[in-house]
Amino acid sequence: MQKNNHLRQGFHVVGALLEENPENIKKIFIPTDRADKRILEIIEKARSLGISVEKKKKLKKEPEALVGNDNLLSQKDLKELLNETDRKTTLLLIDNLSDPRNLGACIRSAAVANITGVVINKFHCSPITETVRKVSAGGTESIPIFVVSNFVNVLKMLKEGGLEIIGTSERATMHYTKIDMNKAVAIVVGSEEKGIREQTLKSCDYVVNLSSNNAFNSLNVSVASSIMIFEVIRQKI
């Protein structure tokens, strides 16, 4: 089947679209042979919003939404967001992550924590694929995602906008709980294999380690992201 960048598939993804961005949905497709409670809830919600629903034989299990414009944002959008920076501003920056499943899991954690947004390095990360969207369980439709091409310039822009940049590395000597994150911050993560790129690390205000286990301290990046994000949220409560 030819890929269509304007199709979003899955209960979580379609459900998030209906809640967060229904005006961008042109039509919803449902499996021909499903009439259970879960699918009926999607139909009812769509029709209440004036969105047409159509049966599609090729769909076997989950609904699908046809959307208009892509919801991904740019560096220009990020700059505009910085005009409203305050203590609660929290960004997750993803620098060097090619695995779409890990990327989706990171976005899911960011969406659950309801942070300000996610910034992705366009040339050093997986694109937002169908796999990313499904693993994020609707996260890609629920949180602002900024795709940028010059990561170091973005870090500079964030600093000028009042954010403190905190990188993560298993080689860092400072433990993450020792940092005051009750302020506008951007958390930077990379893959567990290669980590954050060196030039990115040099642009961070702090670089922290998430584990005190010297023998085995490498965490999956989605786990590391969750730990950092929820520590920030805990400190800001």
pLDDT tens digit sequence for 110-160: 999 999 999 999 999 999 998 999 999 999 999 999 999 999 999 999 999
pLDDT at site 215: 62
Please give the average per-residue pLDDT across 169-173, as a whole number. Answer: 88
Q: Could you tell me if 27 and 65 are in contact, meaning their C-beta atoms sit under 8 angstroms apart?
A: yes
pLDDT reading at 42 higher than 80: yes
Share of the chain above pLDDT 90, in %: 75
pLDDT reading at 1 higher than 50: no
**Structure pTM?**
0.86
Please give the average per-residue pLDDT across 80-98, as a whole number. Answer: 94
Q: Going from the N-terminus, what domains does the chain have, and what CATH number goes with each?
A: 7-67 (3.30.1330.30), 75-236 (3.40.1280.10)
pLDDT reading at 2 higher than 50: no
